[in-house]
Amino acid sequence: MSKSQVIPFESANLPAFLQETFGLTNDLLVSGGGGYPTVSIKGKVFTLKRGDEKTLITDSNDEPARSLEVVILKAGPAGDKLSKVYYASGYTEGSDAKPLCYSNDGIAPGVNATEPQAKTCATCPKNIWGSHVSEDGKKGKACSDSKRLAIAPAGQVNDPMLMRVPAASLKALTAFGQQLAKRGVPYQAVVAKIGFDYSVAHPALTFKPVGFVDESTLMEIKEVVESDLVKRICGEVEDLYVPDDADTAGEPFEQKTPEPKVEPKKSVVKPKPQVTEDNDPPPKVKVKVEAEEEAPAPAPKAAAKSVVQEVEDDLDAALDDMDFDD
């Protein structure tokens, strides 16, 4: 092949005749971690890791960025399932030690788990509330929960990266998704501002909508969402587990079940047998059924406004400021 037949790589965009020839599948991406960038939230700062290189994400003043404006391309696992990871002695921040067991789909251990703790997550003793007690006596699970997000910078949606949302931030993420769903807005169509809740000690994330993507960006998002890279980021394609600081960040996520309703007991007054003369039939006696007196219900107290409600109110206000007619 002569030099005249080679189109310079740096010259311009991909030539039109090449755009539809091979598609977007790239067999050069080898599984095993490092095939996609990740965003860490350790220490309440955002750090981008590409391969072995770590870069602190900064703002326009070269200060650590307090928030990121991104598009959430996809979340995994699907539905209300959560990714799970278990370390025998807990995760040490910054460590590259692999967990004994993990699950990308929240259903069963991953095929690359070195020591699966059970056949399914539902029957795993490490996935039971109270299987772990912290040094200060707080109960949790030995197996940590998280949600995997494929995110991309709002101005560069073809550069997806992994952000693991730790258990302490799942309520905020759920509230964000619920508010968008109430408005009929797909989360992929929104530029989300992801920041930190500085009122708590551990790294807890906040989510707020700040605008909509334009039509051309939305078309690009649709293509990126279906890529193999995004599927790997969200755990839909099995991959080697890469340790992350979200494996042990913050308070555990507790799914509480409602307490059973206790019905008041009823007492039955049984009649005493009566003896009569001349073998007359005994008179009929009515059985009286009495309900135990219930203690008067205490006067209702003014309920304190929950954190989740405050988050929902903030999201509603943000959504109200956005123009849904454009």
Give the pLDDT band (50/70/90) at residue 305: very low
pLDDT in tens, 201-220: 888 999 999 999 999 999 99
Report the pLDDT value the prediction gives residue 97, as an integer from 0 to 100.
79
- Res 119 pLDDT > 50: yes
Contact call for residues 287 and 151 (beta carbons, < 8 A): no
Query: What are the residues whose beta carbons fall under 8 Å from the beta carbon of 269, sequence distance 6 or more?
Result: 287, 288, 289, 290
Nearest Cα neighbor of 289 from 271, 263, 308, 266 is 266
- Res 56 pLDDT > 80: yes
**Percentage of the chain modeled with pLDDT above 70:** 61
- Res 142 pLDDT > 80: yes
- Write down the pTM of the prediction: 0.68
pLDDT in tens, 250-278: 444 454 434 444 455 555 555 555 555 55
Give the pLDDT band (50/70/90) at residue 23: low
CA distance 117 to 127: 9
Contact call for residues 153 and 70 (beta carbons, < 8 A): yes
Beta bridge partners of 67: 195
Report the pLDDT value the prediction gives residue 216, as an integer from 0 to 100.
93
**With the C-alpha atoms ordered 93, 95, 96, 99, is the resulting torsion angle positive or negative?**
negative
Query: What are the residues whose beta carbons fall under 8 Å from the beta carbon of 39, sequence distance 6 or more?
Result: 46, 47, 48, 49, 57, 68, 151, 161, 162, 163
Domain ranges, ordered by start, for the chain = 52-255
Output the six-digit token pair for 191.
């530029």
CA distance 151 to 200: 24
Give the pLDDT band (50/70/90) at residue 304: very low
CA distance 104 to 235: 5
Q: For 42-51, which contacts have Cβ atoms below 8 Å and span 24 or more sequence positions?
A: 42/93, 42/94, 42/203, 42/245, 42/249, 43/203, 44/196, 44/198, 44/203, 48/161
